Every structure is written in structure tokens, then in C-alpha cells.
A and B are shown apart, each in its own frame.
Chain A
Amino acid sequence: MAVWLPNPDPDAVNIIDHVTYFRLSRAAHHYGADPDTIWWSVLVELEGISIDQFQTSVTAFADDLLIPAAYDAVDRSAVRPAQPVAIYARAPLVRHINDSRNALRVTSVLLGASAPERFLDRAAQSRDLPDVIVNDDAVVQAVIDDGIGIAHELFRSSATTTRIHHARIFEAEPLPGNLTSVGRGLDRADIDAFLQDCTFGDMLDEDLFYALSGQVDYGQGVFSTVAMRRSHGTHVMALAAGRSMDEQADTHPIICAALPSRIVNDTTGLEMVPVLYLAFHILVKQARRFRTQSGAPVPVVFNFSYGNTGGPHDGTGIFARLFDHYFGESADTRQKAWLTLPAGNANLERLHAVAEPRTEVDHTATLDLTVLPDDRTPTHVQIWLPNSPENAQPNFATISVRTPFGMDEGIIVTQPGQHAALVNKAGEQIAWLAYQYVGGQTQRGLVTLSTNPTANLRETSDLGPAGRWMIKLTRDPNVSTDPIHIWVRRDETLPGQTSGGRQAFFDNADYHRFDRYGAPLPIDPPDTTSPVRRSGTLSGFACGPAPIVVAAYTEQEAEMSVYSAAGPLVPSPHSPQPAREGPDIAAKGDDSFVLRGVISAGSRSGSWVRLAGTSVASPQVARLAGNAIHGKDDNARAWSREAAKRHRFDLRDDPSPNRVGAGAIRLPGDVARD
């Protein structure tokens, strides 16, 4: 029988990020003999030092560090109060950075996905990017996604010329010449050359193209969903930027980054933020190349059709601040940039819960967490506490975690250094519960629960128990009655992926899933006392003040799509009023209840497929925004409110603003310039 050990590690107080610590400690399960040779993407937040200074401070680990060449000399010498930087590092360095005793002036560490070494080029050098001259009315459409069919006809201006000026393929071997640190960077000329090489007679052999572009190499195990009929990135990018070949190529340039598969084959957990950051950095550099004939910068609209659960949900998360970092008031640019993001699809997923007086009995909120059997990836839970300053972190609550079948209960209080380890009969750790403080702008305590996979094909005894875990939060009402938000991170397996994750979820009996007719309830019953909530499910990425956040509706029934995530958000330490109530606007996510999704490009030219979700609503708004951004002084969200009036589509279910924002819009087939 497994037992919880309270505070077994006296050094745990020095761990900056416990999920990073846990995942590195479990990497041996996946990577076998020598997990220390594995490269990881890592987002580090530097405080008051430059990248160069950071590099100097970890010289002893020079062989374990790769600072991407996308950071040029200016980036590397810049000193800012807080600066998130995406690096690649191996475990010895990550452990060093994640130990606060080393005083590296790193305030946060976020372990991303592992990256095969052959996709990295440690000798890559940053290079000057020449200007790209385009028409005066041009708008750059920037897309970050995965599985982007860059050869698709909708992104071309002729049979053998593309509108894509740069495509970064993260999962591909770098081209010779030390051009890119990570993956393959394809400029317009590279793509055109591949198009020419793969066009025979009048026909493009797209299978051959993706072999040459490095996106698909069956023999070397390089895979992208562009090999399949339906790929997320192709669908999304076509909605945002697909055009017929005869439209002005120099008015509609595209830049894009294809990230690693949305759920990589990594059994330690999932974190996209470091590569998202790097992709954004790369595309910002690319976007700044564009100039009009008169030398003016060209507006750019970004779309990331990504979402996540977790994060502080108050606009201070490391991703929420990304846009501000590059285009906010402190950024030195005249370039106008808008960003569209999906609201997320987590509304009915039962991944979010709130402990607040209404959901507590005797100041205790109780959550049933179902961890499924045959789950080959860990389950991660985040518990975000109310704000507190770093130098006075009160003990808001006592948190207990009971393992399935009443095996044992691990208990910690929300104080620095508090942690507990679940240990099996063989003495191996199979779960980790810990408190950490998240500084910077967030200023909150965070408790994380990480459990081992419940299945492994190899003979192993250190599996986590599957079944109903029980999490209890007992608050001290004298300290605060502010809500405490609990999130389960995503770990499911999507079609075409092989991670073997199965999604854990909250399974409280007092959560009402259906209405009296058996239909899913899209909003929480008004009198519910269940801590498991639909409200506040907005994607953790979509909580910042700058982006246009897009929800999804179902057109034929004229209702919000049931999955479309909702606000409200959590007050931040800087403002009692969050920057947003929820999404800004809603666009079509589904044609009808039975015709789910919307039709857009399939992976191959001439094919059309359906895809549903706020992921496909967002790029439709990006397209509309691209027609509007020129010459308007509005900010993006002000424009979206105006657009909601101009293109109004009335919904019958009269959704609240924290689900629909300023309203739903219906877009004509090809949006007219407004």
C-alpha cells in the first residue's frame, strides 16, 4: 500500500517550479537509460539581467544550453525588469536553474516539450533579415499552429509561388548552413523551389513536397498531421489567410510557425508555452521585415488557435503577458499588431473547480478527481490561491489528497517548503504534492499535484493508482474568503497522436451535467453548490488584456456551442476588475448540432474537411481583422466590439457577456474590406 510522506525533502523549499521538478524526475520512465541527454524546451523568466548575462551565469553548463539564434545580439544584451526567454536545455542545467539557491535571477521556470537532438542545431547563428517590400495596403497574417500544409493552393499565388514568406517547421531537421537553432526555417524562395521540384506537368505532388520540406519523413519518424486528410494548422490557416491564386499576393503575405504535434509523445506531461513563446518571437522578427513602398511598417494579425487549462486566469500568466512583451507600450515598435485567440473548449470538460463559501461545507470544498486506468501520462492539477505578497504568504488553506480506495491521505498547508510525496511499497515516489509561490505580476501561491501514469507497457511497479482521488481544501476563513481555483491539466490523446494519455476530470456527484431533457447543460445551474464549474473555464492563454478572444456558436440552432469556454476571470493583484469578462466576440464553430465544425481546407489542395471548436472560430475573426486593421486607430478589442455590431448574428439562447462577449457575428463567405 502506498503512503504519503510529509515533507520528505528538506531542499524542496528551493524548488522554483515543482511540475518541472516532477517531470524531470519522471523522465527516466520515458527516456530510459540516460534522461540527462534529452533536450527540453524551457521558458525562463529573467529578472533584471540580459540573456548574455544569464548565459554567463551558467557557463558551467555550457554543453547543456542552447539559446536559439532567433534571439539576436540586441535581444541578448537587453536588460528588462522581467523577460521571458525560451531556451533549450538538458536536465542538469534545468535542475540547476530550478534551484533558487543558485540565485540566477530566474523568477520562473516552465519545462516544455522534449525535442529530438536532430531537430536542433547548436551552431546556428542569428542572421540579418532583409526587408520585404509589399503593397501599401498589405496586412501580414501570422499563424502559429501545428500540421500546416504550407504547399496548399490556398496559400499560393500561382502553381509554383507561395504567399508564405517564412515558415518555421519545429519538427524537422534544420537545413545545412546553421540558419536555425530549432527546426527548419523556410523562406519564400525555399518554398517556391520545393514547389517547382515537386510539380510535374501541371500537378504538384504534395506528398513529395512534405518529404522535401522535412515535415514528413516516415523513415526517420518525422511526422506531421499534414500526412493525414485533416490537419489542424491547414484548416485554421486557410480560414485566416486562404485565398484564391488571383488575389494580390503582395497584399496578403503570410508568415507561419508549425509547432510540434499538439500532444507530443512525451509521457511526463504537456506544456506548449515555451515553444509558443519561441514561435512568437520568431514570427515577430519576421513580421518586422515587412515594409510598404514608402518604408512604413506593415500591420500584422496573429492567430494562435491554442488553448490550455490552468494558469492564474487573471491576465498575469506568462503567456497572457507575451503579447504585451512584444507589442505593449514598453516595446520599441511602430508596427500595429492584433492577436486573435480561441476562448477554449473546456466548458463541459469538468477540469475546473472553485472553492468559495457557496461551494464549501465547514469551510471545506471537496473534489472527486477521477484518474482513469490505462493513462500513460501523468495527471497534473493546479490549485491557485488568492493574491499575497511574496514576503507575507499567509496560510490560506489546508490541502489534503486522499488516494483511491481510501489508501492514505497526504496533507500540506499553503506555506513555502510544504510538500508531500506518495510512496509505494518499493519506496518509489508515485505522486507529488507541493506548494510554491509564483512571483512576478502574478503574486499567488500555487499548489500542484502530479501523479504518475496509471499504465506503462514496460514492466514497472511505480504506477500511480487509478480511480477516485479526493482533494479537500479547508480554508482558514480568518485569512481570506476569496475563491480558490482548481484546474486539471490536459493530457488526452488526440487522433493521430500516440501519447496514450487519458484525461482525468472532476466527478463530483453534485455537478449536474444534463438538463431535464438529457441535453448537456451549457451553464452552471444558478443555485448550484458544486465546486465543479463551467464558469471561468476560459483558456489560460486568453486572459490577457490585448487579444481578441473568440468564442464559438452553432449557426443553425443559433446557440452558443456547448464546449465554448466562458469567463469570468479572477481579479489580479493590480486590479480588482479583471481586464476582461470573458471572450470578446463569438464566431461560427459549428454549422449545426449534427454538422459539427466548419468546412475549411483539408491537408491536400482541392480537399475540404470539417473541424470544430473555438480554434476554428478564432481565425475567422483574424481574417475579418486583417481587412480592418489598416488605418484604424482603434485597438483590437475596440474594433471587435464594433464588428460585433456591424456583423451581428442574433443567438436564441441569449448568452451572457462572459460567454459571448460583445456578441456573435456572421461572416460573409469572403469578407468584404470594411
Chain B
Amino acid sequence: MGIGPESAYSAYSAYSAYSAYSAYSAYSAYSAYSAYGASSGTNPMLTEALITNRDGIVGTRIDRIADVLPGVPDSPRNLPRLALPVRAAIFQAELGPSVDLTVDTHDNLPVATLWRRTSEREGRKRKVTFHEMVEMTGPTTEQLTTQLKHVAGYARIRPDRAAEITTQVGVPTAFFASIGFMDPARTPHTLELLYTALNFSSLLIQRTKYALAVKRPIEFSPQVQPMIETPTHGSLPSGHATEAFLIARLLWKLLIESEAPQYGDRAYWGSMLMRQAARVATNRTVAGVHFPIDSVAGAMLGLTLADHMHAMCNGGAWTSAIFDAPKFDPDHDFDWHQLYTPEGDEMKPKASSDRGAWAITKRHDRHDTDETAPALSWLWTKALGEWRDLQECDG
């Protein structure tokens, strides 16, 4: 058993990669492949039938076996022939070791540091290097107490947002698919890429939440009374914000790279994806399960991880980010524009309040020794192909 995106809520099985997502399985796209019951246990009657069937037709043993070529080792060319859960496992095997997390304290506040690990490979030799990718300092209790006023204020629009909030408890694929045209038939690899990213991020989200141990609004006041169940894990960073901004930025990168004229340099696509992500994040505050500052931290983490994912797939730049929660003015609400600009797909270098800089980011250009993961490159390429316009000769 692995663990899935926070928003999937239930434990996530590496062997049922897509079944956890109702938005996806609703199309029953992959049910055709389950005829042999490969992933969900065997069908006893089918087994019995295959035995008797073989007995009936197998005949005398064939002695002369034709040439069999060996398999192609460690090659993405195998990937199209692998079941989705198998591919999911391979992708996680690439992504998982790309990061590490350490925890310490600063001024009595917990600090979680997510490290980016790059390895230079030469035969069986490894040279591993760690770079700080995300440093996140937890908020003070006073900040959260102040932020509680926002939670109370947002409660007034719960009736207005109830349908969105309840349908966004799971992965809000349908909401992003209403902007970028996704469908299991049309964009299977894009969906696979996004769920790969979510699966990867969920480990980091849970580990970071665990490290920072930030209490939920419900623990501050008996009057929060959230309209959905409060998850048992920590409040900051918001997993929904992390995942929504991760999805939004990965999609925006695909749209940009597709070079399709309608997407190419049109930042309004990126803006709309970010507005969607912010809406999902804010809805969690409306519901009463998150402080706005949780969304700030989550958005920052998600945007940073999108760059990391992209670099793992394609090489290219990645971003490091410092979120210093105590410097965030707790009277302020979440505003994603302070972190990111869709035009040029750039994170803002700095965001400050009267207390100092609470967000600092830095872009790191690709280093020659950085290696991409070929399996992930394959996935990105397949996903990108789903956004390119069809050319006349394609047919």
C-alpha cells in the first residue's frame, strides 16, 4: 500500500492507481483491461476454465521453439505495454528518491526543509548532491488566532459554496477539465501525469504537515463547526492548495509547450487555471478546515513542486522557495498573485509584509550534470502530444 493525494482521502493503492479517482473511473476507461482480473485477484471460475480448456486443446508438447529476442532493459519503450499501476510504481520510484526532508526548529518554531537530490551517475558510481528546495517555517499560535477571524468571516458564504466544497473533497479533476480539455479518451497521459504528480506530492504534503504539526481551526474555537469533516492531519500547508496549484501549473506548462496557437502566449489560460486553483484552496477556508495562511503555504509548495516535476521530466530550471510563516501578516488573506505570474510562468522572487519577507524564491537554471528520468520524460512527451494541434500529415 502506498499513500495517495490528500484529496483522495482514502489510502491509495499503487495497484489501483486510477480507481481511486471517481472522476476518472466514472468513464470506466480501463475496466476493459480488468477482464483477467489482474489487479483485483483472480476469478476462480476463469481459472478453472483455463485449466480445463488447456487440457482440452494443449496436445503434444512442441519441441522446437522459435527465436525469442531479449527484452529491452531500462527503456521507456516498455512503458506503453505496462499496466497503469505498474507505470505508476515506476514513476514513483523515480520521483520518490528525488527529494528528502529534514526537520529542525528555529525560534521554537518547527522548520521543514525539502531537499532536492540530484545524482550524477557513472556506471555503478553515484555522486549525490542535495539542494534546499522548500524551506517552510510554521506559523505562531498568535497568527493562527488572528487568522481564525478570516475562517469565521468566510463561514458566511458556506451556503453559496456548498456544492463546490463537497465536490472538491476528492481530486477536483472536473474543475480543471472544465478549463483545459481533459478526458480519459483524449488526454489519458495528461491525467496520468497529473495523478503521478499528486501521488508524489501527497507523500511530501503529509510529511511536511507531520513535521510542522499545525493545529486545525476546529481546535481553536467551538464556533468554527466546519461543514465537512476535518481531516486528522495538520493544517499547514493545505494539501488541497498544494495539489490544486501543482495541477494548475503543470497544465499551464503543457499548454505553453504545446505551441498550439490558442494556448501559446496567452496568459489568460494560465490565469484561469490559477484562479481555479485559488478557488479550490479558498473553498477549504470557507468550509472551515483551513486557515488562509495554509493556502499560502500550500500554493507555494505546489507551484515549486510543479517546477521540480517539470525538471525531472524534461530537465530545465527548477525553483527553490522559502516560506517564513511568522513574517506573514495574519490580518491578510490568501492572494496567489503575490507568489506567481502566469505570464512567463514565473514565481515572484519575494513577497513581504511589515514583518519582513515571508516568501523568497529563486530560479535555478539547469545544471549540466542534472539528469532527467527517462520514464518521466516519456510520460511528459506523451502528455504534451495530447495538447499539440493535429497536423495535416498526422492523419
Q: Do A and B bind each other?
A: yes
Interface residues of A (CB under 8 A from B): 200-203, 205, 207-208, 211, 217-223, 227-229, 495-496, 498
- With A201-B268, A211-B333 given, name 18 new contacts (CB 8 A): A200-B337, A200-B342, A201-B271, A201-B342, A201-B343, A202-B268, A202-B271, A203-B272, A203-B275, A218-B150, A219-B146, A219-B150, A219-B153, A219-B331, A219-B333, A220-B149, A228-B160, A496-B159
Q: Among A202, A205, A229, point to the contact of B160 (Cβ < 8 A).
A: A229
Q: Mind listing 18 A-B residue pairs with CB under 8 Å?
A: A201-B268, A203-B268, A203-B272, A203-B275, A208-B335, A218-B149, A218-B150, A219-B146, A219-B150, A219-B331, A220-B153, A221-B153, A222-B153, A223-B156, A228-B160, A495-B159, A496-B157, A496-B159
B153-A223 in contact (CB<8A): yes
**8 Å CB interface, B282-338 against A:** 282, 331-333, 335, 337
Q: Contacts A228-B157, A495-B159, A496-B156 hold; do A202 and B267 have CB atoms under 8 A apart?
A: yes
Q: Which residues of A contact B271 (CB under 8 A)?
A: 200-203
Q: Which residues of A contact B156 (CB under 8 A)?
A: 223, 227, 496, 498
CB distance from A203 to the nearest CB of B (A): 5
Q: Contacts A201-B271, A227-B156, A229-B160 hold; do A208 and B343 have CB atoms under 8 A apart?
A: no
Q: Which residues of B contact A221 (CB under 8 A)?
A: 149, 152-153
Q: Which residues of B contact A227 (CB under 8 A)?
A: 156-157, 160
CB distance from B128 to the nearest CB of A (A): 40
**8 Å CB interface, B156-195 against A:** 156-157, 159-160
Q: Which residues of A contact B337 (CB under 8 A)?
A: 200, 205, 208
CB distance from B101 to the nearest CB of A (A): 32
Q: Contacts A201-B271, A201-B342, A208-B335 hold; do A218 and B153 have CB atoms under 8 A apart?
A: yes
Q: Which residues of B contact A201 (CB under 8 A)?
A: 267-268, 271, 342-343
Q: Which residues of B contact A217 (CB under 8 A)?
A: 153
Q: How far is the CA of A217 from the CA of B333 in the complex (A)?
A: 9
Q: How far is the CA of A221 from the CA of B150 in the complex (A)?
A: 8
Q: Which residues of A contact B157 (CB under 8 A)?
A: 227-228, 496
Q: Which residues of A contact B154 (CB under 8 A)?
A: 218
Encode B22-64 as 1/0 by CB contact (under 8 A) with A.
Answer: 0000000000000000000000000000000000000000000
Q: Which residues of B contact A495 (CB under 8 A)?
A: 159
Is B341 engaged at the interface, CB distance under 8 Å to the other chain?
yes
Q: Among A207, A211, A219, point to the contact of B149 (Cβ < 8 A).
A: A219
Best-surrounded residue of A208, A217, A218 (most CB of chain B within 10 A):
A218
CB distance from A215 to the nearest CB of B (A): 13
Q: How far is the CA of A217 from the CA of B331 in the complex (A)?
A: 10
What residue of chain A has the Cβ atom nearest to residue B336's Cβ? A205
Q: Contacts A211-B333, A219-B333 hold; do A200 and B341 have CB atoms under 8 A apart?
A: yes
Q: Which residues of A contact B275 (CB under 8 A)?
A: 203, 205
CB distance from B382 to the nearest CB of A (A): 30
Q: Which residues of A contact B335 (CB under 8 A)?
A: 208
Best-surrounded residue of B147, B149, B156, B342 (most CB of chain A within 10 A):
B156
CB distance from A226 to the nearest CB of B (A): 11
Q: How far is the CA of A202 from the CA of B272 in the complex (A)?
A: 10
CB distance from A489 to the nearest CB of B (A): 25
Q: Which residues of B contact A219 (CB under 8 A)?
A: 146-147, 149-150, 153, 331-333
Q: How far is the CA of A207 from the CA of B342 in the complex (A)?
A: 18
Encode B329-365 as 1/0 by CB contact (under 8 A) with A.
Answer: 0011101010001110000000000000000000000
What residue of chain A has the Cβ atom nearest to residue B270's Cβ? A201
Q: Which residues of A contact B159 (CB under 8 A)?
A: 495-496
CB distance from A607 to the nearest CB of B (A): 12
CB distance from B337 to the nearest CB of A (A): 6
What residue of chain B has the Cβ atom nearest to residue A208's Cβ? B335
What residue of chain A has the Cβ atom nearest to residue B341's Cβ? A200
Q: Which residues of A contact B272 (CB under 8 A)?
A: 203
Q: Which residues of B contact A496 (CB under 8 A)?
A: 156-157, 159-160
Q: How far is the CA of A222 from the CA of B149 in the complex (A)?
A: 11
CB distance from A171 to the nearest CB of B (A): 13
Q: Which residues of B contact A208 (CB under 8 A)?
A: 335, 337
Encode B241-283 as 1/0 by CB contact (under 8 A) with A.
Answer: 0000000000000000000000000011001100100000010
CB distance from B146 to the nearest CB of A (A): 7
Q: How far is the CA of A207 from the CA of B275 in the complex (A)?
A: 10
Q: Which residues of B contact A222 (CB under 8 A)?
A: 153
Q: How far is the CA of A466 from the CA of B153 in the complex (A)?
A: 32
CB distance from A176 to the nearest CB of B (A): 17
3 tightest CB-CB pairs across the interface, nearest first?
A218-B153, A201-B267, A219-B150
Q: Which residues of A contact B152 (CB under 8 A)?
A: 218, 221
Q: How far is the CA of A200 from the CA of B152 in the complex (A)?
A: 29
CB distance from B190 to the nearest CB of A (A): 24
CB distance from B250 to the nearest CB of A (A): 19
Q: Which residues of B contact A498 (CB under 8 A)?
A: 156
CB distance from B147 to the nearest CB of A (A): 8
CB distance from A604 to the nearest CB of B (A): 11
CB distance from B291 to the nearest CB of A (A): 11
CB distance from A547 to the nearest CB of B (A): 33
Q: Which residues of A contact B268 (CB under 8 A)?
A: 201-203
Q: How far is the CA of A220 from the CA of B332 in the complex (A)?
A: 10
Q: How far is the CA of A227 from the CA of B159 in the complex (A)?
A: 12
Q: Which residues of A contact B267 (CB under 8 A)?
A: 201-202
Q: How far is the CA of A221 from the CA of B275 in the complex (A)?
A: 24
What residue of chain A has the Cβ atom nearest to residue B149's Cβ? A219
CB distance from A500 to the nearest CB of B (A): 14
